[in-house]
Chain A
């Protein structure tokens, strides 16, 4: 038996929807899990709030806590003006968080373990910041590249670094999420594979030896739960910080 930690990331086309140019657009397992994620969020946010009780039940509490959590994150990083982007940030946070959490369940697919997905989300944020920043502030938006209080002779260098870091934002924004999810799931698969390998290959001794990777798998699953939430939070809070640049340029 061989460990194949990469297999879990395979995109399996379930059926073909159509073609755009020479690209085949298929309904894949990734599509399925994206739709499941949207369905779970809708169920939580709409089903949970269906009765809208004054004293919330469990599901309603989760929905309200998610709402309050994202809202307070935005208010603390981008101020009350940032609440304009509440639906966007809430959608991003919930989409990433829920899809990551679903991905921890064995035999499921993790949507954000594919860089194209995280890049698309990061570029969505990047262009939102760029377009809103220019629309709101005009040319003053570019003051974010010119920090105040920097001596003239190093200003060009600082500006170069600022511009570079601005355009590298979507890269770090997307790779952070992608790499975390990918690495976590590979590590989980490898350790889980050890358990099976030892158990099958070495008999009773393997069963005893398999305890250690099993314990590690359990611990890693707990860690992955944390990472799943944390990466969604990091993605959302970075979005807030970037949007804050668009709302209040010239830091």
Chain B
């Protein structure tokens, strides 16, 4: 109570008797408060608008940029690795198809070579077979003609031994021919 009366007393003294007892409604203090508020609030506004908010904004922007930059870098690296993977797969596929082509080509070449070899061999064999058959036929003809001669001689000799007369060569050979044709 003592404090209160002292406080209001001080006011009434300073304000020339305005004091209503309730400080928020003591109009004598209004001017001081308004001037204080004006100074404080203008100072705050200037500090906030000139220094504080731009600084916060720049930090937040920097963070946003850093995050976006990191994400972009990550995306770039991912794209690069994707591209590398794709290149690897393309390369692998082309290598595989090339290997297949080479294989096919080689196989065809070898087949063709083998075919050619076989053909020449066959041709050779055919020629030799033909030659052999010719030879056999020749030999046979010779042999057959020899057989005729031998048969005629043998027939002539047999007839001579049986009859004691040497038969006419012509007759014998025609008889042999007839028999061979038989």
B53 in contact with A117 (CB, 8 Å): no
Question: Quick one: closest A residue to B40, CB to CB?
Answer: A34
Q: Which residues of A contact B (CB under 8 A)?
A: 2, 4, 6-7, 9-13, 17, 20, 23-28, 30-31, 34-35, 37-38, 41-42, 45-46, 49, 52-54, 56, 60, 63-64, 67-68, 86-88, 90-91, 94-95, 111, 113-117, 120-121, 124, 178, 182
Give Cα A9 to B33, complex, Å: 13
How far is the CB of B65 from the nearest CB of chain A, in Å?
Answer: 10
Asked if B92 is an interface residue, CB under 8 A from chain A, the answer is no
- What are 19 of the A-B contact pairs (CB < 8 Å)? A10-B7, A10-B11, A11-B11, A13-B32, A24-B15, A30-B29, A31-B32, A34-B36, A41-B47, A41-B52, A45-B55, A46-B51, A46-B55, A63-B56, A88-B45, A95-B44, A116-B34, A120-B37, A120-B38
A28 touching B32 in the complex, CB below 8 Å, given contacts A67-B53, A117-B37: yes
How far is the CB of A109 from the nearest CB of chain B, in Å?
Answer: 10
Q: Could you give, for residues 1-15 of chain B, a 1 whenever the CB lies within 8 Å of some chain A CB and a 0 otherwise?
A: 101100110110011
Q: Which residues of B contact A (CB under 8 A)?
A: 1, 3-4, 7-8, 10-11, 14-15, 21-26, 28-41, 43-45, 47-49, 51-53, 55-60, 62-63, 66
Give Cα A54 to B3, complex, Å: 52
Give Cα A87 to B52, complex, Å: 9
How far is the CB of B52 from the nearest CB of chain A, in Å?
Answer: 4
Give Cα A158 to B151, complex, Å: 158
B60 in contact with A67 (CB, 8 Å): yes
B1 in contact with A4 (CB, 8 Å): yes
A7 touching B3 in the complex, CB below 8 Å, given contacts A42-B52, A87-B49: yes
B33 in contact with A116 (CB, 8 Å): yes
How far is the CB of B89 from the nearest CB of chain A, in Å?
Answer: 39
Centre residue among A116, A120, A178 by max chain B CB count within 10 A: A116
Give Cα A111 to B3, complex, Å: 21
User: Within 8 Å CB of B31, what residues of A?
Assistant: 20, 23-25
A42 in contact with B24 (CB, 8 Å): no
User: Within 8 Å CB of A34, what residues of B?
Assistant: 36-37, 39-41
User: Within 8 Å CB of B43, what residues of A?
Assistant: 38
Centre residue among B21, B44, B53, B60 by max chain A CB count within 10 A: B44
A90 in contact with B53 (CB, 8 Å): yes
A45 in contact with B4 (CB, 8 Å): no
Centre residue among A35, A49, A115 by max chain B CB count within 10 A: A49
Question: Quick one: closest B residue to A98, CB to CB?
Answer: B44
User: Within 8 Å CB of A42, what residues of B?
Assistant: 44, 47, 52
B40 in contact with A87 (CB, 8 Å): no
A10 in contact with B48 (CB, 8 Å): no
Q: Which residue of B21, B34, B47 is within 8 Å of A38 (Cβ)?
A: B47
A6 in contact with B4 (CB, 8 Å): yes
A13 in contact with B35 (CB, 8 Å): no
